[in-house]
Amino acid sequence: MQKYKWLFVGGALGLVTWGLVQSSSMDAFVASLDERSGTAYRQVDPLEGFHMTTSTSTSPISGEQLMERIRAEADTYKEAPIDAKVDRVWKAIPGLNGVEVDIEQTFNQARGKDVSGGIPLVFKPIPPAVTLKDLGPHPVYKGNPNKPMASLMINVAWGNEFIEPMLDVLEKEDVKATFFFDGSWLSKNIDVAKLIQKKGHELSNHAYSHKDMSKLGREETVKEISRTQELLKEQLGVDNVLFAPPSGDFSDLTVKVAFEMNLQTILWTLDTVDWQKPSSDSIVRKIGSRVEPGSLILMHPTASSSGALSGMIQEIKRKGLVLGTVSELISPERIPKVERNINF
């Protein structure tokens, strides 16, 4: 009986060896096993042998099916643009891009690939029909309320003591702010301005000598704005597009002259009133309770705002808002969303 047992084992091994030899390649032999057993194999390093996995492949999707699916779902993700407008209270409110699925790009990116886990969507903006410039000379006090962003505007006309500590906080929190420079300060502090610029912040115009702009005629208004404009360009290479009037004081003429110089006049939504030396904690509470999408937050390089800056940023982020420069806030660009897929 033992003899017949060994003959049986030997015969089985012989059949396996014969199958390997007769196959034109190892791949063909594996394929033959696959056909007969309905089990998928993948060939790996010879030292590892063969690993068996359950087949999860699906039938290929035709280009026509893919396009049909994308078109069917595209309208679900479409959001209409919002035009810029002049509000009775807040004056110029920036517009906001709409968004829609770029059907051709989505199709080209997904074609020929495994889409069993979903089709990655490619989006394109839909510009608003009316932009800020279309509104004419109006000041901006806040961004579009449908854009979950706020901005820190730091007006600099005196003192340097707290600038570097504030820059350190902004860098630690990965936040970019917009600094509006008084020209007479800037002319004496180019190195400080260059440091601010090096940190990636936006540099803008705060007139030249901190006068009440509402009391100035056209010639003096042009002079106050253009002198700082020239400093920004010649000393820092900045093509400035924003103007913040000193003390928030302006007239229709001020805004008109700025508009003619291709500058958007910027005011604020929330004021830290840090020149009155409030406690840093009170500033944090104030901003935390009032900040909302579109808020422009005014401060200066003072002890109060320097001490409050980190807490302010944390409160703003806690409310789900992104912090950007003033130019980013008033632009029609949407904040990018997490990648979305169409499930097939």
What are the structural domains of the chain?
Answer: 2-53 (no CATH), 63-133+335-342 (no CATH), 137-330 (3.20.20.370)
pLDDT at 3 over 70: no
Q: What is the pLDDT of residue 338?
A: 55
Q: What is the DSSP string of 204-236?
A: EE--SS---GGG--HHHHHHHHHHHHHHHHHHH
Q: Which tokens hold the place of 42?
A: 């993948």
Q: Which of 24-33, 40-49, 166-175 shows the highest mean pLDDT?
A: 166-175
- Is residue 49 pLDDT above 90, yes or no? no
From CA 313, how far away is CA 327, in angstroms rounded? Answer: 18
Per-residue CA distances from 153 to 77, 203, 283, 295, 296 (Å) = 34, 10, 15, 10, 7
Give pLDDT tens digits for 191-227.
999 999 999 999 999 999 999 999 999 999 999 999 9
3-state secondary structure of 99: strand
Kindly give, in sequence order, each residue whose CB lies less than 8 Å from that of residue 262, ignoring residues fewer than 6 positions away: 241
Beta strand extents in the chain (DSSP E only): 40-43, 50-53, 85-87, 91-93, 98-101, 119-120, 123-126, 149-156, 178-181, 202-205, 242-243, 264-265, 270-271, 296-299, 322-324, 341-342
Question: Per residue in 135-190, pLDDT tens?
Answer: 999 999 999 999 999 999 999 999 899 999 999 999 999 999 999 999 999 999 99
Residue 28 token pair: 């063909």
Bridge pairing between strands 202-205 and 341-342: unpaired
Average pLDDT taken over every residue of the chain: 85
pLDDT tens digits for range 223-242: 999 999 999 999 999 999 99
CB 98 within 8 A of CB 79: yes
Rounded CA separation 133/300 (Å) = 28
**Encoded tokens for 192:** 């400080």
pTM: 0.80
Q: pLDDT tens for residues 303-328? A: 999 999 999 999 999 999 999 999 99
**What distance in Å separates the CA atoms of residue 98 and residue 289, rounded to the nearest whole number?**
29
Helix (H) or strand (E) holding 317: helix 303-318
